[in-house]
Amino acid sequence: MKTCGVALLVVVLAIMVSAEEDDSTKHCHKPDAEHPEPCGGVVAEVKTCPEPYFLIGNRCYWFPDALREMEDSHVYCAVRDPDGHTATLAVLDDCETFASVANYIANLKSNKSYWLGGTDFFEEDNWFWLNKKKVLTGAPFWEPGQPDGGLKENNLIINHHGHLEDRDPSELHPFICQLK
């Protein structure tokens, strides 16, 4: 947990510093085949993602331009997976992945919250990702005061600050699809 806190602290500091810098030279929001070099000029092996997915950290994500209830979001991802791939709602099951997606969302500078593939439906206050890994709890992952929904709010969103919240699955939100 300490290393995760340090990783997220680094992300928060990077966001604060980058807010003062020219966005066009310091941020790489969507890598493409013509510009495989990551920000900062450091050459690294580049993983490619099938369209419309793009790389955040070391995983492929897609932010469809749609608002859905949680279950419909899950189905939307699954039925639109690219040939040869399996897609689900996003699972942020380790510190690096969580930090990468949280940083990306915070840099979008929007007020949107996105459905993720996490729930406490089977046991209240016992949160799990779709892959059955435990959802990290407490600060710095969750918005202060969250989770707070009791028996009604059993699904996860990531808010525009990059923090988790529990929500009622009937709410309409954009969502994040991820390739397995």
pLDDT at 151: 86
Q: Check residues 47 and 97 and name the one with the higher pLDDT.
A: 97
Per-residue pLDDT for 25 more than 50?
no
pLDDT digits (tens, 9 = 90+) for 92-113: 999 999 999 999 999 998 999 9
Please state the pTM of the whole predicted model: 0.76
Q: Check residues 22 and 93 and name the one with the higher pLDDT.
A: 93
Per-residue pLDDT for 21 more than 50?
no
Query: Which CATH number belongs to the domain containing residue 119 in this structure?
Result: 3.10.100.10
Per-residue pLDDT for 126 more than 70?
yes
Cα dist from 153 to 71, 82, 84, 98, 150, whole Å: 13, 31, 34, 21, 6
pLDDT digits (tens, 9 = 90+) for 53-104: 999 999 999 999 999 999 999 999 999 999 999 999 999 999 999 999 999 9
Count of structural domains, the chain = 1
Cα dist from 165 to 12, 86, 138, whole Å: 18, 26, 11
Q: Check residues 172 and 151 and name the one with the higher pLDDT.
A: 172
Range of the domain at 81: 2-179
Name which of 26, 6, 5, 3 is nearest 15 in CA terms. 26
CB 126 within 8 A of CB 84: no
pLDDT at 5: 53
Q: Are strands 87-89 and 59-62 parallel, antiparallel or unpaired?
A: unpaired
